[in-house]
Amino acid sequence: MSILHYWLAMSGIVWRELWRFVTQRERFISALVRPLVWLFVFAAGFRAALGLAIIPPYQTYILYEVYITPGLCGMIQLFNGMQSSLSMVYDREMGSMRLLMVCPLPRWFLLISKLLAGTGVSILQVYVFLAIAWGYGIHAPWEGYLGVLPALLLSGLMLGALGLLLSSLIKQLENFAGVMNFVIFPMFFLSTALYPLWKLKESSHALELIAQFNPFSQAVELIRFALYGQLNVFALVYTASAFIVFMGLAILGYNPSKGMMARRTQA
């Protein structure tokens, strides 16, 4: 297989995902409604309870809405990763996933192409959300909007790889909602997306440790620092390591001779 074949396959998968996203306006609107509700409605109550929040890059007190904006960007990517896994399960039940997997190209390449397509969609959603937040009065440094792109790419890949891993484990579409509730909400609420670690420490040291080593927390911290022109090295290494682990397990799960697909065939 030549490089052209790889390029055509990747571009076809990416354009298919983008076209699906463009034609499904409800998916785009729902992806924005969740973080906007948190930003416009719930933030008012949390601000009254927490007052001002400390933003790590500058260690200064700022409005709570400014603190949670990077966390809400992570929320968009988290839900998009789960949505992508839902589409994988649906495609597998409809048979289109089987057609993709019998392609002569390596299976890992096809999965990474699918992952890149989903990550691109999530990054587009995040920038639309940041534009709305900017109109609401939440401004980051101009260079931060460009500098956050690599952080969004890595965090999107990590969360998308988690979605791929889940899609290799979910046998039926009906089970997806339960798995989503089991994964998304603990990851989101036991993280630094809504409140800093020192607030969690005031409540429970165990909760602080869980939040600190939650992959979603480190993805949010990577976005938060990058949006304000800083680099969180620990968050970068942790997120990259989580991506490698999740992606490796996802590739193994979609391996017809070793993964979950083989077990379904035997069953």
- Compute CA distances 25 → 34, 160, 247, whole Å: 15, 21, 29
What torsion, rounded to 10 degrees, do the Cα atoms 173, 175, 179, 184 define? 50
How many distinct structural domains can be found in the chain? 1
The beta strands (E) that lie in 5-129 are given as 53-55, 60-62
pLDDT of residue 155: 95
> For the segment 11-49, what is each residue's pLDDT rounded down to a tens digit?
777 777 777 776 766 767 777 788 888 888 777 666 655
Residue 126: what pLDDT?
A: 93
pLDDT at 203 over 60: yes
Which residue type, as a one-letter code, is found at position 38? W
13: containing domain: 3-266
Q: By the 8 A CB rule, do 35 and 76 touch?
A: yes
Could you tell me if 165 and 115 are in contact, meaning their C-beta atoms sit under 8 angstroms apart? no
Max mean pLDDT among 109-113, 131-135, 141-145, 235-239 falls in 235-239
Task: Give yes or no for residue 83 having a pLDDT over 50.
Answer: yes
pLDDT of residue 224: 92
In this predicted structure, what is the pLDDT of residue 99?
60
- pLDDT above 80 for 148: yes
Cβ distance 154 to 137 under 8 Å? no
Provide the angle, in degrees to the nearest 10, between the axes of the packed helices 142-169 and 107-135: 140
- pLDDT (tens digit per residue) in 46-70: 665 555 555 555 455 456 777 788 9
Instruction: Give dist(CA 118, CA 81) in Å, integer.
Output: 7
Record the pTM.
0.83
What 3-state DSSP class applies to 24? coil
